[in-house]
């Protein structure tokens, strides 16, 4: 994990922003679309490889995520910068 994929310039098809997750959908962090938010995420322990689950959205698309077993409230813009690889739905 020496090189952090900060800017996902050549976003692969499967990279989706966490904002686009539907409730109960999950993904694994693969990068960040914005340096400033990225560092804040890193400091809070949201790293590439962290598992993100969308719990629900409040008014104005403020997101409520469960990330590695911890609950986090994140703004629309902040959620848009968190890039994920989708993983299969929970059975």
Partner 1 sequence: MFAAQKDSGADVSLTEAATTTLRIALVGNPNCGKSTLFNRLTGLRQRTGNFPGVTVERLSGFINLGDRPVELVDLPGTYSLHPTSLDERVVLDALLGLGDGRRPDAIVYVADATKLDKHLLLLTQVMDLGIPVLLALNFADEFAKRGEVLETPRLSEELGIRVLSISARTGEGQRWLETEMARLVKDLDTPTEHFFDPSELELEVAQLLEPSLPELTVYGRILAAHHARSSTTPAALRITRAWATDSPAFDSLRLQVRETMQRYDRFLPALSAAKRAARTDVSYSDRIDDVVTHPVAGPLIFFAILFLVFTAIFSWSAIPADMIEGLFAGAGAWIRTVLPEGYLADFLVDGLLAGLGGVAVFVPPIAILFLLLSILEEVGYMARAVFLFDRLMQRFGLNGRSLVALTSSGACAIPAIMSTRTIANPKERLITILVSPLISCSARIPVYAILIGFAVPAVTVWGIFNAQALAFMGIYLISIAAALISALVFKYILKSTERSYLMMELPTYRTPIWRNVFLTVWTKTKAFLFGAGKIILGISMVLWVLATFGPSEQMASAEQQAIERVAAADAPNLDLEDAVAEARLEASYAGHLGKLIEPAIKPLGYDWRIGIALVTSFAAREVFVGTIATLYAIGSADDNDALITERLSEARRSDGTKVYTMATAVSLILFYLFAMQCMSTLAVTWRETGTWLWPAVQTIYMTGLAYGFAFLAYQTLS
Residues that bind partner 1 (CB under 8 A): 1-2, 4, 6, 35-45, 47, 55-62, 64, 66, 68-76, 78
- Report the nearest approach of partner 1 to the CB of residue 10 (Å): 20
Q: Least distance to partner 1 from the beta carbon of 37, Å?
A: 8
Q: Which of 40, 56, 57, 52 is nearest to 84 (CA)?
A: 52
Residues whose CB falls within 8 Å of the CB of residue 3, separated by 6 or more in sequence, listed in order? none
Alpha carbon 87 to chain centroid distance? 12
For partner 1, the closer CB: 40 or 86: 40
């Amino acid at each position: 994990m020496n090189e952090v994929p900060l800017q996902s310039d050549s976003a692969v098809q499967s990279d989706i922003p966490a904002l686009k997750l539907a409730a109960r959908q999950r993904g694994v962090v693969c990068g960040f679309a914005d340096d400033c938010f990225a560092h804040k995420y890193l400091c809070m322990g949201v790293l590439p490889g962290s598992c993100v689950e969308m719990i629900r959205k409040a008014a104005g698309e403020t997101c409520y995520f469960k990330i590695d077993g911890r609950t986090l409230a994140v703004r629309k813009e902040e959620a848009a910068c968190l890039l994920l690889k989708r993983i299969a739905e929970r059975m």
